[in-house]
Amino acid sequence: MSILTAILGRLAKAALTLLAIAVLNFFLLHAAPGDPAVVLAGEAGAADEQMIEQLRERFGLDQPFYVQLGKYVGGIVQLDLGYSFRQDAPVSQLILDRLPATLLLTLTAFGISLVCGIALGVASAARVGKASDSALTTLALLFYATPLYWLALMAVLVFSVWLGWLPGFGYETVGAGYTGITRALDILQHLILPALTLGLFFMAVYMRMTRASMLEVSQLDFVKTAKAKGLSGPAIRRRHILRNAILPVVTLAGLQAGQLVGGAVLTETVFAWPGIGRLMFESLAARDYNTILGVFLVSAAMVILFNIVTDIVYRIVDPRIGATA
């Protein structure tokens, strides 16, 4: 019951946040230099006079400001994100077509980074002060400082151009006509490099967090009790320390979701991965503001959804949260 009301509360808040972002988008469109109708049309002659006239009428650009705001936000509530004149398609359609690729990439990267990050963090904390611990923390610090897109480019250079092990761009082999299992394997092969490079940065974040959290929990009294009971080191780490140390890592993982989506823009750009990040990059060059703002709104929605999911996971992992909140 308490979980249900909590979820409902979160959903209501999520709806409000998205509404606020829609309003923000409206003001940004009007803040852009130039006639809003021309801005909406994608600037520089992508639309003819008649089309711009239609846009003016549809968004009520000759009417008072609040009417315009109402029309714009009303459209978004009905999932109408506007029209991309550059691509000659509704923005919502463009995004929907590209969303599966982005979800596949970000969720894979998230899974890899969380599992490897926690495992390495535990290993590093268990060997605290030894050479292998220093090596791991130094490596994490290095990944932490490496620009994602540059790492992606270097991965393409080494594993695709020089070694030829993995495809360096795209979602699947174009024109190969694979179906079923062969197609899935083909996509998997294309997925490895983007997912790994996107995941490495976050792996470093989770590793540092897990290590610090493990070390902090290992100072607590109940760990001394477990030691006094005569439990072995690995058993204490697994059953007593890790279970308590993992909570802040889950919180952090939820907060990092926004960064993961932002990172997807860069990774997808380098690997020509046909997701919404790549769509955003293409729209930047074309000055297709409608699509840019649409992707922005959808990526915010993804982050909010992801936060709600981590919140639920958090409540399941630690029932105390539900009891106090």
> DSSP character for 81?
-
For 173, the token pair is 């082999």
User: Per rule CB under 8 A, is residue 142 in the interface with another protein?
Assistant: yes
Residue showing tokens 């380098």? 270
β-pair partners for 90: 83
**If binding is defined by CB under 8 A, does position 252 make contact with another protein?**
no
The owner of tokens 């080191």 is 233
Strand partners, 83: 90
Map residue 256 onto helix, strand or coil. Answer: coil
Helix, strand or coil, per DSSP, at residue 90: strand
Q: Applying CB under 8 A, which part among 47-55, 150-158, 179-187, 190-198 lies near another protein?
A: 150-158
| Closer Cβ to another protein, 84 or 299, answer by number | 299
Q: Does 1 bind another protein (CB under 8 A)?
A: no
Q: Does 9 bind another protein (CB under 8 A)?
A: no
Sheet strands (E) in 115-260: none
Q: Indicate whether 184 belongs to the interface with another protein (CB under 8 A).
A: no
- Of the candidate spans 68-76, 78-86, 93-101, 212-220, the one that interacts with another protein by CB under 8 A turns out to be 212-220
Return the SS3 of 84. Answer: strand
Rounded alpha-carbon distances, angstroms, from residue 115 to 38, 105, 118, 121, 203: 48, 16, 5, 10, 8
Residue type, 169: F
325 contributes a contact to another protein by CB under 8 A: no
Give CA–CA dist 236/242, Å, rounded: 8
For residues 178 and 222, which CB has a smaller minimum distance to another protein in the complex?
A: 222
325 vs 6: CA distance, rounded Å: 9
Residue 84 β-bridge partners: 89
How many helices (H) and strands (E) are present in the chain, helices listed first?
15, 2
**Residue numbers 159-178 binding another protein by CB under 8 A:** 161
Contact call for residue 244 and another protein (CB under 8 A): no
Shortest distance, position 298 Cβ to another protein, whole Å = 10
Site for another protein contains 289 (CB under 8 A):
yes
Size of the site for another protein (CB under 8 A): 54
Give the span between the Cα atoms of 292 and 232, in whole angstroms: 55
Residues 18/301, Cβ–Cβ less than 8 Å: yes
* Residue 105 binds to another protein (criterion: CB under 8 A): no
Per CB under 8 A, does 32 bind another protein?
A: yes
Question: Quick check: 189 binds another protein (CB under 8 A)?
Answer: no
**DSSP assignment letter at 177:** -
Q: 300 has which bridge partners?
A: none
- Minimum CB separation from another protein for residue 183, in Å? 27
Nearest C-alpha neighbor of 22 from the set 224, 238, 243, 298: 298
Residue 94 contacts another protein per CB under 8 A: no
Query: For residue 90, which phi and psi values (nearest 5 degrees)?
Result: -65, 140
By CB under 8 A, name the one of 296, 308, 314, 318 that touches another protein. 296
| Nearer residue to another protein within complex by CB, 119 or 215 | 215
| Binding segment (CB under 8 A) for another protein, from list 15-23, 64-72, 90-98, 308-316 | 15-23
123 binds another protein, rule: CB under 8 A: no
Smallest distance from the beta carbon of 112 to another protein, in angstroms? 20
Per CB under 8 A, residues contacting another protein are 17, 20-21, 28-29, 31-33, 128, 141-142, 144-150, 153-154, 156-157, 161, 212, 215-216, 218-219, 255, 257-259, 261-263, 265-266, 269-270, 280-281, 284-285, 287, 289, 292-293, 295-296, 299-300, 303-304, 307
